[in-house]
Structure formats: C-alpha cells, structure tokens
Structure 1
Amino acid sequence: MSSATYLAPGVYVEEVPSAQQPIAGVGTNVVGFIGIVPPKIYVPVPNPDYDPVAARAAAELAELRAAGPGQPGDAAARARAAEAAAANLAVLRNTEDSLNRELTDLKTQLDAAQTAVNSAQSALDAANTAEQNATTAFEAATDANRAELQQALEDASAKQQRAQRAQTQAVQKFNRLDAAVNAKAAELTSLRASIAGTTPPAGGAAPAPAPDAAPAKLVEQEDDTYEDIKQDDTLLARSILRPFILQEFTLKVESLDTKLCTNFTEYAQRFGTFSAYKDTPDLPYDNPDLWTFSPMHPGHHALTHAVNGFFKNGGTKAFVCRIDREEQLEDALENFKSIDELAIIAIPGLPKSADNWEALMTHVENRENCFAILDSQQVVNDGDDNDLDVQQLNYTSAGENAALPRPCKNAAFYFPHIEVIDPAKLLQDGDVARKVNPKYRGRTYVAPSGHLAGIYARTDTERGVHKAPANCVIRGAIEVKYYVSKPVQELLNPQGVNAIRIMNNAVTVWGARTIGGDANSEWKYVSVRRLFLFLQKSIEEGTQWIVFEPNDEALWGKIRLNVSAFLTNVWRSGALFGATPEEAFYVKCDAELNPPEVRDLGQVITEIGVAIVRPAEFVIFRITQSTGAPRT
C-alpha cells in the first residue's frame, strides 16, 4: 500500500513488489572424494646422477652371475658369457674411475670450503671485537668526540654484518659440498658393491629371481586391506644405477579434514602428487613378465588418480577428505553433511567392500539431494583363473558371492577398472632392474569413479543434468581391466552395472543406469534421477521466501507463477518432454489442495508433475528393401 498523499493534480508512478521470485537452478557438479591417506607419503623424483649405461651394465652383470657358468661342456656359451661379463665389468670400472675423480674433486672443494669457513669465522670474530670496542668507546664519549665515535660505531657494525653474511654463506657452501661428498661416496659404495656382486644391482632394486619357478596359473586377488608398505631406506639415497630417488612428503591436511580443490595442483600441494610403488615385485618368480609392483600407499594412489581423472575429464570443484583408517568413513560422510553444495560423492581411496558401499549409499539416500558413484572391485574372477566371472555381477545368480552393492536409486555402479599411465610408476619402471617391458611402463589399473565424476560435471555444464553421462570417452584412460562384449553387457545392463567398453578404439562409458537397473522402475536411469534431485533442491531453495507469508489465494498464485516460470526454463533446455509447457509439466496449488484444515496446520501444499526426458538407450532402425516405386 502506498504511503504517498495525493494533493496536487498530476500523474503518480508507484513501485509495486513483483509477484514473481525467480528460482535459480542449484549446482549439480560439485564432488566429494574420500580416501585412506597416511600423514606421510613417499614420492619418486628424477635422479640427476642416474647413469643408464652403467645401470644396464650392472643389471646384465647381475643376470650373468645369477645364470652361473652354463651347461657343462658348453665352452662356446661360457666364453660368450665371460666376454659379456668382462665388457659390462669394464663399463662399471670406467664409471667407478669417473666417480672416484668426481669424489676427489668434491673433497678438494670441501677442503677449500673448510678453509673459507675458518677464514670467515676469523674475520667475524675480529669484526665482533671491533664492534664491541667501538660500542665501549661510544658509551664513554664526551660531547666533543661523540659524533666521530658514533660514525666509527656505525662503520664497525656495518663491517660486522658483512662479516656475518660472509660467514653464513661460507658455512652454507660447506654444508652443500659436505652433503654432495657423502652422496657421491654412497654412490661409489653402491657401485663397488654391484661390481663385487654383494648387493642388488641398483642398491635396493628388484632382487635376483627366486629359484622357484612361477606356478602354471597365477590367479589375481582383490586387495581389501589398503595397507601402506614401508619404504626401503636405500631408495632415499642417490644411486647412479637408479633413475629415481624417493622423497618424503608430509601432508598439510589433518585426518577427517576436508579441503576444497579447484585444480590438481591445489590437491598436490596439500595431499601430495603421485606416490611411489614398491621397489620389489609382489611375487618375484623366475619369469620377470609375471612381476607386479604394488603402490606403497594404495589409498593415496587411488585417491590421487581419482582427483586427477576428475579434473582431466572436465571437473572444476572437488572437496577432498583424508582419513587414517577405514573405520572413519562414517565420520567423513557426517562431515560432508555441512557442505550443502555437494551433489556427487565417491570413495575411490577405500576398499571396494559391501560395508563401504552400504555406508555411502545410506548417506546419499538420507541426504536426498546427493548422488553416489560406486566403483566395482578390480578383480572379479572365480578364484580358479583370471577370466571375468560375470555371474558375480548378477543379483539372481551370484548369491553371497555377489560383487555388487544392493539396488539404490541414488547411486550408479561402474565396471571394470580402467588402465592409465602413472607418472610415478613410469619413472620407477625406467629402472632396468625391474625388467619392465618399455610398452608397459607406467601402466596401472585404477577405479573409474573420479573420471566418471568429471564426465558428470562436464556433461552437466555442456548439455545439462538431463543428459545421460554416457557415450563419453574417458580422458586419460588407455585400456580396461576386462573386455565387456555386447552379450556380456546384455547380462550386466538389467542389473544396473554400467559397462566401460572399448568403442572405436577409445575407452568409453557405455551405461547410464542406477544400481539395480530394472528393479528401480521409474528411477532406473542416472539422468532421470539426478534431474529429479536437481528440481527438488532448486525448488526447495528457490521458494524459501514463501515461509510465513499469508496463506491465501494470492500466495497460491505466486507459487504457481514462480514454479511454472522455473519449469518453463527447464523445459526449454530440453530436460522435459512435450511440445508445449502444458504437455511438459503442471503446477497445482489451490483451495482443493489447501482446504481450511490444512491451512490451520500452517501448511501450504503444491503438487508438481513433470514429464522427464528418458535417454535413448536402445536406438532401433527398421530397414526394409524397396522396389524403388514411389511411396504414397
């Protein structure tokens, strides 16, 4: 109501509050990640002193020594082996001489640095004495010579400061040279041990093959512990025979603390970059082709690849939480409740177990406006061989052996794991003692949830939350753990197992269902469920102004107007089915829904119906032969 008074004739323009309060769509691409990460990790960095020629010679010499003298009577073979051993030994001897010269030169520089330190200390002592004398003289000065003595004191103080800087620089140089001498001496000791054949060729690298032969069938098993592995202290020192050095990194994040990361660099600064792998094979059989090297920090390894995959595939905003042990998952999820903008949650840095799946699904169900991305187990076999046991991914046939979580309309499940290049493993695999074929160096399998979360975020931004996050190439993935054929996917799809397949020579997401698939009825598609969650949260946040408004016909009209305007925009984006807004949705808020007994309870009820667009999961073309006659 206007407070103006109309006394003079004229035209008056008044401002009237609008009945429309625009509803803005909430964000759908903010992700939360959780992983088991120790407070201290080890990261491999390039070794500037690495000598690949000497490393290969040491490795070949070790192999020749391990092979023994050869078959009795095979003089030619023994002669070739002896010639090869002599050639490799000559290379190592030359390298030893070079290291000796370098060590001698460093020791000479160290002696000179010690002399410089002594000289700088003497100069500093003299400057300190001169400054003390000048101070004493100034304190006893009279008015007649105070100015002259003050200048002398200032000159003495400046000289003392210069002497102090010179002494500090001399000590720093000495310390650097002393460290270099110790490192070079350790390299020389390691090299001499390799020449003598008393230690592994790279001072802690893969040992000589075990005498036991590999079994006829080596069956993989799932890692359900995620326990950290203690590092070999020899890897912290430089060796010219090893291409990397392990460096210790202390995380800047406390347990159960959550940090916002908007790029991978921010994550690496707080949680550390790609961590190291074991330097010895898990099972050192006599066939190096069967050697596998596990991550030293499995939880950090999985979490780091997930976050990297998230940003690489289009993600822009992630909250990352580290925990010390698996039992803290519930606490981490509880902390996530305070982050209202979280729309997607994944736990790539934890074992893929039924308990962890259940904890995450229960959390998103109770939260109501959040969606979970679950990873399958890396190994899905029957224990007899390494072939895929697809029955474990079927609710009806797997029974207690199911490698599946229970059906859940607020979560999606992806299979199998994907293969990526790990920079840390790529560096470590360059060690010739690990005997990794060059084409396999750096390759490792990781859970796909982080990459999928990035695809969700990118699809939401480019197309909208109504677009199914499928038929998308996974950036950074080069292979899959198990090949999923069309017949196999026909078994997986009804269960809600979203397959990751090789399509047109690219690793592609080829599924868009919630866990349980057909069992979820109207919520069996990821895009449908996430669009509904988006509508629910947007309307909830965009209609807060209604609270405590007079519950009358005017309010009902405003509600219909505001919600209809929002849904019209959603329809125009292509998320709702229908040629007109009237076909796509309806909004009802009237006296029928809000009779006196409802209004007496302080309630206002609005009924909304939407026709959500379903993804074209099965594209069918009907083709027939034609005689060429015109069709009528």
Structure 2
Amino acid sequence: MSHSYREEESRIDSHIEPAIASLPLFIGHTEKAVTSDGVMLTTGTCHSIASFAEFEQCFGEAPSDTTLCVTMNHDNQVVSAVCHCHFYLHSCIKQYFDNGGGTCEILSVGNYNEPLHAVTFMMAIKQLPAEATFTLIAMPDAVTLPELPQLQQQLLQYCQQQANCMAILDLPYCDNQTLPATVTAFRHQIGDTALHNGSAFLPWVEVDMPSARHYKHLEIKYTPGAATAWREFQKATRIQSRLFRDHLNHLPNLLLRRMIPPCGTIAGLLYANDQERGVWKLPSAPVNHVHSLSATINDAQQAGLNIDAAQGKSINTLRHFLGRGILLWGGRTLAGNDTEWRYISCKRTFNFLRASIHHYLNNQSFVHNDETTWSQIREACNLFLLKQWRAGALQGEKSKHAFYVRIGINETMSSQDIAEGRLIILAGFALSRPAEFTTLIIKHQLHSQADAVEQARSYPSMANKLKIRARTSPINITINTPLPKQGDGPLPLEIS
C-alpha cells in the first residue's frame, strides 16, 4: 500500500501593495442619506462617493434653512448677498472636490430638521469602525457647538487607535479682531492627549452658494444714507419675497457667498497632493474657488501660530499672497514640540508605511514561523521600502541609510515567541522632513581697509540700511532648530 504526501508551503506574496494614502471621512448633517440605488442608509453607516454630483444624489442639496443678508444702495442695486447657516457639510464637500478631492466617505448624522447636538456627534464617533479604512476625518457641522473641544479630543483619541488616520480640526470662526482670543481658547481647551494625530487650520473661507433658492430667511440692510429711502421697499420685499427671490436669481453679476470652515478645502488639497506628489510632501498648489478669508494672517501672527512657545500646539493657516493666490501656509500637527511627529507629512508617511506593511501581513498565509518565511517577508518589506525611498518618501544617500528590516530568532523573536505563534518584525524609516528654512549664502569680495573708508565716506547713509533677508519656504515660519542631519537614525516600527 503506497502513501502520498504533500508538503504544505507558505503562500507568501513578495509584493506589498501601498495602502490608501488619502481617503477622507466627513461627518455632518445632510438633506437625506441613501445609496445611489435609492436604498436608505442605516444610522452610523459610512457611504463612499466619488464626485459632488454623487454626493447630491445620495445626500441631497444645501440646506434651505438659511438666512440671506442682502445689502442694497439708494439706486435699488444689490451690493452684496451673504448667506448664513449652521450646516456646513454640503459646502465643504463642494470645496473638497473643487480643490482636487476624489473618493471620500460620508457619515450622515441626521437631516436639516434635526438640531445640532453634541451627543449626536459623540455617538457617531463611538460607532466608527474599530479598524478604519479612511485616513482623514473632519466634522465641519460641529464647529459651532460649545462642546467642540470635547468632540475634537474624542476624534484625536479615535485616530490614536488607528494605524493610518488623522483628524482635520477646524477652529471656530474668527476675523482679524477675534483671532487672538479664538486661538488662545482653542489651545487651552484642546487638551494634551494624542495631539500628533491631528492638525488644526484657520481661517474660514468665503465660497459661492449654488443659487438664491437656498435660503429661507431674508434680511435687508442698506448702505449708509439709504435706510430711510428704502423702508417702504423693505416692507414690499417681505410681502413679495418670491418675486425678490426670482429677481436675485436673475441678477447677472450677483454672487451669493458664505463663510465656511476650511476642512473641506484642506482635505481636497491633501488628496490632490497625495496623488500627484506623494503623501510625504505638503500641498503647494493655490486654493481654488475661494474668494476671501475671514482673517488676514501676517508674518508675525504666523510665527506665533506655527510655534506655540507655551504649549507647543501648532496651528496651520491659509494665507493670500499677491500674484500667487491663497496658499496653505504651515504643515504641522498639533504636537508642535514633538521632535518626531511635529510635521503632518512625517506622521502621514509613517502611517502610510505602517498600514501598508500591516495590510500585507494580514493577507498572507504563514504556515511555518521559520527562516524561509522570515526571508520572504524581509525581501518583500525591503523591496517595498526601496521603492518608497526612490520615490522620495525616505531620506538617505543610500538605501541602507533610509530604512532597515529585521526579523528572526534572537533578533526580533525569542524561542518562546515562536512557540506561541508570534511573528515580530522590526522596521525603521528615516522619514523625509520638510525644510522650514531656506538658506541664503552670500559671497562678497572684501576690499582693503582704505577702500572701505572711502566707500563709507561716499555712502554714509548705507551703513545701517542694507539688510538681506532669506526667503522662507511655504511651510515655515521662524524656527530656531537646524535641519535633521543626513545620518539621523530611522524611526522604529514594531509589528507583532
């Protein structure tokens, strides 16, 4: 009697697929919540969309419970029309796609008839999946709630538990006068836990409203000197509001605008940047479809926002530059004093690499925890990290300076680990860090002492006027630490 034996082999793929770098989740109120087939979404269900048209198909249009404030002059001309509403998700999604955003997920926590309430958002965060597929989270509709700091803390703690997720945090609305107080309150209330898992942004952005039909309440104001003349016109307008609404819709030069938090804009910039340049870089493209900002940030203010000497809680800004448009100016996490995780690009790159390797290991079938398996895993990780280094994600003149992968008995595992079925890999990355300074080197031919005296006599006023200033890069501001040396060691990553 003959017996046949089949030796079972480990089925290990040598190719590591890169994890999704940018997949935002937006949480907020919508007009409805259905799938593209019209099936109603259950409470707490995240739904994926790929375009603004698909968003409106599944989640409806902008809220109609909006106040439209119209300013008119003595010639019966509409000078400006500004909308006000507590629901921001619809406009933020429009900004997201206008600035290069792609596939994202939406979590509707209710319709426009339901009031904004902190408990609604708290429950939504608690019901988020234990292992997130999305990599960014924002909740613009929560920005006006008094409990916003507690909700943002809860969001940071959720991201802390994920392998590849960061929170985009909006600050409450502020203008030039209220900016300092808003920043101080935010830094005081956000806490000190899991700060490297989120980044904060201001100011708000002014965007277009789709049309004049998206308002329910009408307020008319007058330019100076016109109030008396138009009291009767205001009364007539209230009576004939539908006619006035049609009139607004047909004014060729009238643009309805509103201020919204910047999270949708930021998420769109990050998504487009990840596709075109890589998660290890920060967006440098100008912002699209934004008319103005709620506050104007100057260099001195930027320095204080970027580096918080007291608490280290950095805040990034959008700024307008003549001839360049509106740019994202700043690239720090909330953990501005953290040497390793102060930069958004570093944290997101680390998350991306870790998630890629985690996903690879979870999809392999390891039959034997032996040298053959270790060798195959080591090769796959090395090939993946080599590709990322060549793309610019890791720093180092040579690959051995950029990363390492270790796995084996008495190296990452003990005999007991192997006996208990534990497979432990130790990988290290030298992340590419952004340059917060550009250095200007000036070479000047020295003159003799006699020449110098003669020049001083000829140009006495120049002695104290000549100043040379280095031009900083978009993410800087003023920081007094040198750039990391090329030989800095990789950051450790343990996967078990």
Q: 1:409/1:600 Cα in 2 relative to 1: closer, same or farther (>3 Å)?
A: same
> Corresponding residue for 1:483?
296
Q: 1:279/1:468 Cα in 2 relative to 1: closer, same or farther (>3 Å)?
A: closer
Confirm or deny: 8 A CA contact 2:81 2:257 kept in the other structure. no
> Corresponding residue for 1:29?
22
Q: Give the one of 409, 425, 449 matched to 2:196.
A: 409
Give per-residue Cα distances to partners, 1:354-402, cap 9 Å, x unaligned.
122112112111223211111111126xxxxx61442542xxxx36884
- SS of 2:196's equivalent in the other structure is coil
Q: 1:545/1:31 Cα in 2 relative to 1: closer, same or farther (>3 Å)?
A: closer
Give per-residue Cα distances to partners, 1:259-280, cap 9 Å, x unaligned.
2211111111222223336456
> Corresponding residue for 1:611?
430
Q: Give the one of 140, 147, 164 matched to 1:348.
A: 140
Q: Give the one of 298, 309, 333 matched to 2:125.
A: 333
Equivalent position amino acid for 1:419 in 2: E
For 1:111-122, list aligned pairs within 5 A. none
Give per-residue Cα distances to partners, 1:440-467, cap 9 Å, x unaligned.
7312111111111111111111111111
Confirm or deny: 8 A CA contact 2:31 2:59 kept in the other structure. no
- SS of 1:473's equivalent in the other structure is coil
Q: 1:453/1:400 Cα in 2 relative to 1: closer, same or farther (>3 Å)?
A: closer
Confirm or deny: 8 A CA contact 2:171 2:186 kept in the other structure. no
TM-score by length of 1: 0.56
Q: Give the one of 167, 170, 177 matched to 1:387.
A: 177
Confirm or deny: 8 A CA contact 2:395 2:432 kept in the other structure. yes
Q: 2:79 aligned with 1:266, yes or no?
A: no
- SS of 1:314's equivalent in the other structure is coil
Equivalent position amino acid for 1:387 in 2: Q
2:209 and 2:71 map into 1 onto residues whose CA distance is 21
Confirm or deny: 8 A CA contact 1:251 1:272 kept in the other structure. no
Equivalent position amino acid for 1:457 in 2: Y
Confirm or deny: 8 A CA contact 1:252 1:270 kept in the other structure. no
1:406 and 1:422 map into 2 onto residues whose CA distance is 37
1:400 and 1:474 map into 2 onto residues whose CA distance is 25
1:512 and 1:400 map into 2 onto residues whose CA distance is 18
Give per-residue Cα distances to partners, 1:388-426, cap 9 Å, x unaligned.
442542xxxx36884756561111111111111112359
Kindly tell me the number of residue pairs found equivalent between the two proteins: 394
- SS of 1:311's equivalent in the other structure is helix
CA-based RMSD of the aligned residues comes to 3.8
- SS of 1:522's equivalent in the other structure is coil
Q: Give the one of 362, 373, 383 matched to 2:168.
A: 373
For 1:369-518, list aligned pairs within 5 A. 369-379=164-174, 387-390=177-180, 392-393=182-183, 398=184, 402=188, 406=192, 408-425=195-212, 441-469=255-283, 471-494=284-307, 495-503=313-321, 504-517=323-336
- SS of 1:566's equivalent in the other structure is helix
Q: Give the one of 593, 602, 605 matched to 2:421.
A: 602
Confirm or deny: 8 A CA contact 1:357 1:374 kept in the other structure. yes
1:315 and 1:415 map into 2 onto residues whose CA distance is 19
Give per-residue Cα distances to partners, 1:584-606, cap 9 Å, x unaligned.
11111122222223223322222
Q: 2:84 aligned with 1:309, yes or no?
A: no
For 1:5-404, list aligned pairs within 5 A. 21-37=14-30, 255-276=43-64, 278=66, 281=69, 294-295=83-84, 298-299=86-87, 302-324=88-110, 325-326=116-117, 327-337=119-129, 340-352=132-144, 353-379=148-174, 387-390=177-180, 392-393=182-183, 398=184, 402=188
TM-score by length of 2: 0.70
Which entry has the higher C-alpha Rg, 1 or 2? 1
Confirm or deny: 8 A CA contact 1:348 1:447 kept in the other structure. yes
Confirm or deny: 8 A CA contact 1:274 1:424 kept in the other structure. no
Confirm or deny: 8 A CA contact 1:468 1:527 kept in the other structure. yes
Equivalent position amino acid for 2:256 in 1: G
- SS of 2:266's equivalent in the other structure is helix
Long gaps (5+) in structure 2? 111-115, 219-243, 308-312, 448-496
2:12 and 2:44 map into 1 onto residues whose CA distance is 45
1:35 and 1:19 map into 2 onto residues whose CA distance is 42
